[in-house]
Amino acid sequence: MKKSFTILLLFLFTLSGYSQEQRAYESCTYVNNVSVSEIPRFIELYKQFTDMSLGDNRTQSSEWLFRHWYGSGHTFVIYSAYDSMEDYHADADLAEANITAKIKAVTDADQQKVLMDEWAELASFWDDHTDEIRVRNTSTGFYAKEGTDFDSPFVMSVGRYNSSGSWGDMGNGFFNWVTVPDVDNDVSLAGGVSYHYMGSGPDVEVWNCYRSLVDFATAVTAKKELSDTAKEGRKTFWSLADGAHEDQIYLHIGHVNMEKGVFDLAGADR
């Protein structure tokens, strides 16, 4: 109980510095133990039923599907963003209702049964999943150059850390050390920071996107001239990193195109 109370105090202290900022909440779903042979089928079904779930009534602001490429753990991760926790709680029922309505609208009974069976098949992949909710702030939650094209199978590197002090100071340190310089210098496509809110997960999660695995490898091995701000950010970040950390490398599979109302597979004309 004492540890949980301490974590809550740290989280509230972190957010107090961002009282003037808008926050977004991320639902993170980790899909485990999908075999290599099942991966294409999962993606096929995920797109099919994500498309069916979409509608003007949905409350999400974005949704992204990544395949795990390197590191230990899950096969896929799904990031869905919401402007509030009220939107998050409402959205699951809305997605299910939209799918149900579209299945019922199919007049052919055999085709209806096929769709119900396929929906159950997709749901079976969730049997061993885990969830968490994370929160990100306006200033550091997402950083990219205006007009960046994300419709490509880019690589996302994710670092997951616990903190011995202020989560906000730690996240800001990474943002100033890596995220801003790499994006501004066209080394990475985008980056950001999120903080633990609900479920099991690390205090601070940092991420950066790269055009390819080659670009990622080049970025992490190249020597860089750091500004004074970046040097101070690096010092702050590592001074607050507590214990072992976890690194993951993901490949972008696709995301919901909010304007078109479809799940867009990564790559041109997909």
Nearest to 177 by CA among 210, 206, 135, 144: 206
**CA gap 148, 140 in Å, rounded:** 17
3-state secondary structure of 53: helix
pLDDT tier for residue 223 given thresholds of 50, 70 and 90: confident
Q: What is the mean pLDDT of residues 7-19?
A: 42
Report strand pairing: 60-70 vs 143-144: unpaired
Q: pLDDT by residue (tens digit) across 125-178?
A: 999 899 999 999 989 999 999 999 999 999 999 999 999 999 999 999 999 999
pLDDT of residue 41: 98
pLDDT of residue 17: 43
Sign of CA dihedral 269, 149, 260, 157: positive
Lowest mean pLDDT among 58-67, 71-80, 195-204: 71-80
Concatenate the DSSP letters of all residues of 212-268 into one string.
SHHHHHHHHHS--PPPHHHHHHHHHHHHHEEEEEEEEEEEEEEEEETTTTEEEESST
Q: How far is CA 209 from CA 118, 218, 227, 241, 243, in A?
A: 33, 13, 21, 22, 25
Q: Is 12 a residue whose pLDDT tops 60? A: no
Mean pLDDT of the residues in the chain: 90
pLDDT of residue 116: 98
Tokens of 81: 């963003």
Q: Is 242 a residue whose pLDDT tops 70? A: yes
Q: Is 9 a residue whose pLDDT tops 90? A: no
Lowest mean pLDDT among 8-12, 42-46, 95-99, 180-184: 8-12
Q: Is 1 a residue whose pLDDT tops 80? A: no
Q: Is 187 a residue whose pLDDT tops 50? A: yes
At 98, which helix (H) or strand (E)? helix 85-104
pLDDT of residue 71: 63
**CA gap 56, 143 in Å, rounded:** 27
Q: Is 69 a residue whose pLDDT tops 50? A: yes
Q: Are 162 and 93 in contact (CB under 8 A)?
A: no
pLDDT of residue 270: 67
Report strand pairing: 130-137 vs 76-82: unpaired
CA atoms within 13 A on the CB side of 256: 22
Helix axes 109-124, 85-104, angle to 10 degrees: 150
Q: Is 7 a residue whose pLDDT tops 70? A: no
Q: What is the mean pLDDT of residues 60-71?
A: 91
pLDDT of residue 20: 55
pLDDT of residue 70: 76
